[in-house]
Structure 1
Amino acid sequence: MINFAKFEIIGRIGEIDARPKVTLLSVCANYRRKGDDAEWTDDSYWNRVSVFAEGQRKHISDKAQVGDLVRIAGRLKDTSYERDGTTHYTTDRIVEEFGILATKN
């Protein structure tokens, strides 16, 4: 049996940070929740994802813009690093699927 940890996000791009070997995207997803006053409100959450595949990076560079509605899916990877003698733990979201659902305009 295959085991896996996956994620899926549908949201709007807030930032595109193209680096030499990775493109980092911030994508905002909105959740509806009932507030203390029993009124429904949007609860926005920013997700940071990493794109390593060269074809996807080129597609993002050529076609994607801040404000576009996108669907992103991929795998989760736990990592850690040391800084100032303290170990920090993170969960990386590595993009395997990327599609633009609607442009900003």
Structure 2
Amino acid sequence: MRNLAKFEIIGRIGKIDTHSNVTHIKVAANYPRKDEATGEWSDETYWNRVTVFGERTRKYIADKAQVGDLIRVEGRMRDSSYEKGGETVYTVDRLVDHFGILATKAEAA
């Protein structure tokens, strides 16, 4: 059996940050939350940052994707760390293997 750490997010694009060899996307995912005092349900938004290295996927995103689009991203997770101000900062990177647009912002309006 193969060992893996994987993620899947379905949500709306909040920001696309493109660099020379990597693209970072902020994806909003909503989770239902019940207010303890009132018993009312509401959505709590969590912003996920995903990283895209694949050249074909990056080109597709540049050509087709825009803020507000509903997307599905899937990939692998990787722990990493770096030094900042003399302290070690630990991160979990979400590396995109599959990217798809489920609905455009225009379709949602």
Calculate the TM-score normalised by the size of structure 2: 0.95
Give aligned pairs, total: 105
Q: Which residue of the partner structure matches residue 40 of structure 1?
A: 41
Runs in 1 of length 4+ with deviation above 4 angstroms? none
CA shift for structure 1 position 60? 0.1
Structure 2: state its 5+ residue gaps: none
What is the DSSP-based 3-state SS (H/G/I as helix, E as strand, rest coil) of the residue aligned with 1:27?
strand
Q: Which residue of the partner structure matches residue 90 of structure 1?
A: 91
Deviates more, 1:29-38 or 1:72-81: 29-38
Describe how 1:1-105 pairs up with structure 2 within 5 A. Answer: 1-36=1-36, 37-105=38-106
Q: Deviations over 1:43-83 (max 9, x none)?
A: 10000000000000000000000000000000000000001
CA shift for structure 1 position 84? 1.2
Provide the alpha-carbon RMSD of the alignment: 0.5
CA distance in structure 2 between the aligned counterparts of 1:69 and 1:35, rounded to whole angstroms: 27
CA distance in structure 1 between the aligned counterparts of 2:102 and 2:70, rounded to whole angstroms: 5
CA distance in structure 2 between the aligned counterparts of 1:80 and 1:51, rounded to whole angstroms: 18
Identity %: 62
CA shift for structure 1 position 5? 0.3
Structure 1 counterpart of 2:26, which letter? S
Structure 2 counterpart of 1:39, which letter? E
